[in-house]
């Protein structure tokens, strides 16, 4: 296994989650999946492992990344492009007919024009007819029903695309997002041959949070929600042990446990990055025992210039919440970052009341509960009742340290 930090891992480098991949594969026999988890938890690596399993089972599997899409046309363009690649790779008369239809639909997608809520299209072949994006999308997916194959379509960063629509269209964006999700839930499932197509949806921003904030939670209730947890402590230690053996770095069990404990909530990415820093330090100071370099390796995670990934946690709040709510959420996080054990719930509620002096007690509690649930869902916080009274703390220790450094003198 290689020390890979940043890129999704595949094949022999995919570690520790084969059982989860097999479980998701079984779910896909009957349901579409919404894969939930914070950034860098390993969702893309897991999704690609599931794709590999489905291909071995004879399915066709494609991946579309839609973070750059700002409208429904962009989604269809990405989808058509990847489907076309898969279809172009096959040679038979049945696929030839579908290939011709794909070519026609590709032209229609590229001519889609948007003007607020909804979309119109000038159909390139007919010249004067008009379609909306839903019609074109339905025809695109209906073509898959003409083939014998089963399909898995992995859509990465769908929530970011939906946030882009809301930001780009201040008046109609929320309605467009609801229509898109309703299309996905109802129209797509009603198409002939829909049972041949399964969807796996994920993103670094929680789709569950987006729909909760905009009152459309019903639009994703047909998806099978699966949350990806961090590694167990034992699995995290095994990862570091195998990496140490691969790169001939002498770490005993105590040193490995100390490195894992420094991350606290063992996400594979942060374990890999910490080990990568440790490798560099060992190379630079070969006479120093590797265990004496662990603290410095973890410290490097949060230093300016090496901390780009942590900025996403801050930016994600600004994407999901209004400016006022984002500022309040950041204040609560800063308050809870002062100690690894976090802050008592009563003290956090008091901060909400201080910042909203005109709110009633019930209104302040409701506002705190709203932000608390978002921060829990997106893994900024974990609750802890072990120290007397409920506390909320950062599960990911490097993120806590980075947040405190960024928001203090």
Domain finish residue from 197, 227, 257: 227
- Cβ-contact 152, 51 below 8 angstroms: yes
Task: Give the CA angle between residues 230, 164, 167 to the nearest 5°.
Answer: 125
**How many independent structural domains does the chain possess?**
3
Q: In terms of C-beta distances under 8 Å and separation of at least 24 residues, what long-range contacts does 70-73 make, across chains too?
A: 70/161, 70/164, 70/165, 70/168, 71/114, 71/119, 71/164, 71/165, 71/168, 72/112, 72/114, 72/119, 72/133, 72/137, 72/165, 72/176, 72/180, 73/109, 73/112, 73/114, 73/119, 73/133
pLDDT, tens digit (0-9, with 9 covering 90-100), for 285-341: 999 999 999 999 999 999 988 788 899 899 989 988 989 999 999 999 999 999 999
- Find the mean pLDDT for residues 46-52: 97
CATH of residue 49's domain is: 3.40.50.300
Does residue 393 share a domain with residue 256?
Answer: no
What percent of the chain stands above pLDDT 70?
89
pLDDT band per the 50, 70, 90 thresholds, residue 113: low
DSSP 340: T
Please check whether residue 12 lies inside any domain of the structure. no
What are the CA-CA distances from residue 145 to residues 28, 98, 193, 235 (Å)?
A: 17, 10, 4, 42
**Range ranked top by mean pLDDT from 110-114, 166-170, 402-406:** 402-406
Please check whether residue 36 lies inside any domain of the structure. yes
Domain housing 256: 233-302
What are the CA-CA distances from residue 210 to residues 79, 213, 343, 363, 378 (Å)?
A: 22, 5, 26, 21, 11
pLDDT, tens digit (0-9, with 9 covering 90-100), for 393-408: 999 999 999 999 998 8
- Find the mean pLDDT for residues 158-163: 94
- Cβ-contact 278, 292 below 8 angstroms: no
Domain finish residue from 268, 302, 336: 302
CATH of residue 347's domain is: 1.10.10.10
Q: Is the pLDDT of residue 354 over 70?
A: yes
| Cα(32)–Cα(278) distance, integer angstroms | 40
Please check whether residue 278 lies inside any domain of the structure. yes
Query: What does the pLDDT read at residue 115?
Result: 46
Does residue 134 share a domain with residue 278?
Answer: no
Query: What does the pLDDT read at residue 124?
Result: 31
Q: Is the pLDDT of residue 116 over 50?
A: no
Does residue 258 share a domain with residue 198?
Answer: no
Does residue 81 share a domain with residue 147?
Answer: yes
Q: Is the pLDDT of residue 166 over 90?
A: yes
Q: Helix, strand, coil: what percent of the chain each, to 5?
A: 60, 10, 30
Does residue 73 share a domain with residue 114?
Answer: yes
Please check whether residue 216 lies inside any domain of the structure. yes
Does residue 319 share a domain with residue 383?
Answer: yes
The values of phi and psi at residue 185, to 5°, are -75, -40
Does residue 387 share a domain with residue 344?
Answer: yes
Does residue 95 share a domain with residue 220?
Answer: yes
> How are strands ordered across the β-sheet holding 343-344?
343-344, 391-393, 382-384
pLDDT band per the 50, 70, 90 thresholds, residue 175: very high
Query: What does the pLDDT read at residue 148?
Result: 82
Query: What does the pLDDT read at residue 98?
Result: 58
Give kind and range of the element (H or E) at residue 200: strand 197-202
Please check whether residue 310 lies inside any domain of the structure. no
- Cβ-contact 169, 109 below 8 angstroms: no
Does residue 244 share a domain with residue 219?
Answer: no
| Cα(346)–Cα(75) distance, integer angstroms | 44
| Cα(60)–Cα(46) distance, integer angstroms | 17
Q: pTM (2 decimals)? A: 0.89
Does residue 254 share a domain with residue 195?
Answer: no
Please check whether residue 8 lies inside any domain of the structure. no
Please check whether residue 7 lies inside any domain of the structure. no
Domain finish residue from 227, 242, 273: 227
Please check whether residue 4 lies inside any domain of the structure. no
Q: Which residues pair with residue 113 across a beta bridge?
A: 120
DSSP 8: P
Does residue 159 share a domain with residue 295?
Answer: no
Does residue 281 share a domain with residue 213?
Answer: no
């Amino acid at each position: 296994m290689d020390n890979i930090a940043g890129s999704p891992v595949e094949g022999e480098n995919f570690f520790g989650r084969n059982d989860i991949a097999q479980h998701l594969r079984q779910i896909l026999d009957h349901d579409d999946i919404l894969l939930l988890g914070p950034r860098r938890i390993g969702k893309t690596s897991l999704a690609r492992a599931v794709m590999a399993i489905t291909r071995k089972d004879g399915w066709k599997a494609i991946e579309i990344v839609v973070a750059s899409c700002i409208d429904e046309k962009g989604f269809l363009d990405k989808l058509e492009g990847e489907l076309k690649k898969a279809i172009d790779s096959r040679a038979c008369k049945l696929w030839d007919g579908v290939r011709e239809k794909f070519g026609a639909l590709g032209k229609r997608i590229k001519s889609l024009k948007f003007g607020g809520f909804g979309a119109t299209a000038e159909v390139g072949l007919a010249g004067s007819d008009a379609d909306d994006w839903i019609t074109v999308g339905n025809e695109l997916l209906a073509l898959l029903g003409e083939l014998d194959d089963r399909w898995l379509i992995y859509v990465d960063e769908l929530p970011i695309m939906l946030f882009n629509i809301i930001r780009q269209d201040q008046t109609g964006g929320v309605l467009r997002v609801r229509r898109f999700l309703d299309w996905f839930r109802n129209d797509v499932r009603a198409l002939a041959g829909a049972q041949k197509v399964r969807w796996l949806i994920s993103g670094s921003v929680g789709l569950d949070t987006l729909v909760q904030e905009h009152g459309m939670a019903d639009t994703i209730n047909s998806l099978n929600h699966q949350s990806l947890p961090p590694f167990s402590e034992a699995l995290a230690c095994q990862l570091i042990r195998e990496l140490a053996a691969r790169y001939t770095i002498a770490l005993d069990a105590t040193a490995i446990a100390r490195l894992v404990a420094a991350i606290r909530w063992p996400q594979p990415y942060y374990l890999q990055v910490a080990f990568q820093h440790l490798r560099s330090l060992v190379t630079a100071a070969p006479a120093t025992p590797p265990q004496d370099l662990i603290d410095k390796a973890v410290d490097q995670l949060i230093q300016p210039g090496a901390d780009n990934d942590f900025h996403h946690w801050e930016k994600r709040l600004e994407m999901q919440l209004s400016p006022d709510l984002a500022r309040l959420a950041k204040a609560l996080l800063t308050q809870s970052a002062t100690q690894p054990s976090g802050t008592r719930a009563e003290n956090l509620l008091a901060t909400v009341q201080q910042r909203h002096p005109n709110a009633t007690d019930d209104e302040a509690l409701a506002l705190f509960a709203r932000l608390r649930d978002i921060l829990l869902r997106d893994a900024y916080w974990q609750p802890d009742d072990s120290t007397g009274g409920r506390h909320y703390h950062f599960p990911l220790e490097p993120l806590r340290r980075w947040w405190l450094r960024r928001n203090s003198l």
